[in-house]
Every structure is written in C-alpha cells, then in structure tokens.
Amino acid sequence: FSPEEVKVVFVLGGPGAGKGTQCANLVRDYGFRHLSAGDLLRAEQDREGSEYGEMIKKYIREGDIVPMEVTVKLLENAMKEDIKDKHGKGSFLIDGFPRKMDQAEHFEDTVVPSRFILFFDCPEEELEKRLLNRGKTSGRSDDNVESIKKRFKTFVETSMPVVKYFEDEGKVENVSAVASPEEVYQHVKERMEKRGI
C-alpha cells in the first residue's frame, strides 16, 4: 500500500483498556475503518473450513499471540477489500495489533508504516474489573480469571516492548484510560488533532 494513500493508526493498550470502545467513536467522527485483530481472529476461528480455527482457539484461550503470518494476512485482506472501491485510498484503525515485536516490523515493512500509535494506559485492577464484568455476557473464551491473568502476562512481557519501541521513535500518543468513556474520548480527539488527523 502507498503510505500517502493509506493511513494506519495502531491502537494499543492492555486487555480491556477500551480500544474497541474508543475505535467506535473514531469511526463515527473521523470516517476510519476499524480493524480489530482480535475480532478478525475470532471470525476466522469460527469460519467453516478454516485450517487455522483450532490453533487460533487454543492461542486465544491461553492469552498467547497467534503466529503473525495468520494475523497479518487477515489484516491485509481486510484492508485490500476496503480500498478496492476507493481508488486505493483508506484510513484504518488497527486495534490490538502489533502486540509482538516481529509483527510490528513485518507489518511496517511489508504492508505500510503506521502514522502513530494511540496507547491506552490503564492499571491492571481496573482492566480485570472491566473484563470480568464484560465476561458475564460477552461469551468470549478468554474473559475468565485464568485467561485474563495469562493475557496480562503476555501484555507486560511481549506487547509493552512494542509500545516502548514506538515511544523511542516518538510515535506514541499516551492516553489515560481511567475515566468515563466520554472523558477518555475527549483526550483521544485532542491527540488526533495534534497528529493532524
């Protein structure tokens, strides 16, 4: 994809930080297309005939990161599909990706470099409270105490280094996610404007 025509903002933050919630606001107000890597993986897992279904199921329940080839392919296909009728132009919020260093490098080298990273900062106690609450109705196989602990561990050990890497490049907009969704969104909008979106 051409970096002039295709805008990508990575949306990162711990499990339950509010990535999906805030992306919905940005889609409404800025005309982005929202691509959640987790949602794409869950859809692939449930797709009849998928050769990756069982593998994805196992990784998600264990809070592990699915091998990047699968996730990058799903993202790339969704992006291609979206810009097909738009003369190659598009703006994407890539939610929950990249969460491992190899994914970040591979995507920026082979798909398109990101404009910046929107990072939602939230303490674990708050994340756990939100996820357990959502787990009552979400039906997600990873919204239970055991999987949540594993997701936190993966986030700290594997995904935070990615945020650190982008931070060193001056590409991270850090937003505190501990406030009402409306208040958090006010800060998000400020950061979007600051980055000229």
Q: Encoding tokens for residue 52?
A: 């990756």
Separation between Cα atoms, residue 75 and residue 8, nearest integer Å: 11
Please state the closest distance from residue 6 (CB atom) to ligand UP5, in A. 19
103 known member of a binding site: yes
Q: Which does 59 bind (CB under 5 to 8 A by kind): ligand UP5, Mg ion, none?
A: ligand UP5
Decide if residue 135 touches ligand UP5 (CB under 6 A). no
> One symbol per residue from 168 to 197: x for binding Mg ion (CB under 5 A), - otherwise; what is it?
------------------------------
Q: How far is CA 81 from CA 57, 75, 90, in A?
A: 25, 10, 11
CA angle 5, 14, 66 (to 5 degrees): 70
Decide if residue 151 touches ligand UP5 (CB under 6 A). yes
Sites for ligand UP5 among residues 89-118 (CB under 6 A): 96-97, 99
CB distance 76 to 111 below 8 Å:
yes
CA angle 105, 41, 88 (to 5 degrees): 60
Separation between Cα atoms, residue 17 and residue 49, nearest integer Å: 33
Decide if residue 20 touches Mg ion (CB under 5 A). yes
Q: Encoding tokens for residue 68?
A: 């990047």
Please state the closest distance from residue 87 (CB atom) to ligand UP5, in A. 28
- What does the binding site for ligand UP5 look like in residue numbers (CB under 6 A)? 13, 15-21, 36-38, 41, 59-60, 63-66, 71, 96-97, 99, 130, 134, 142, 151, 177, 180-181, 184
Binding site listing for ATP: 16-21, 134, 179
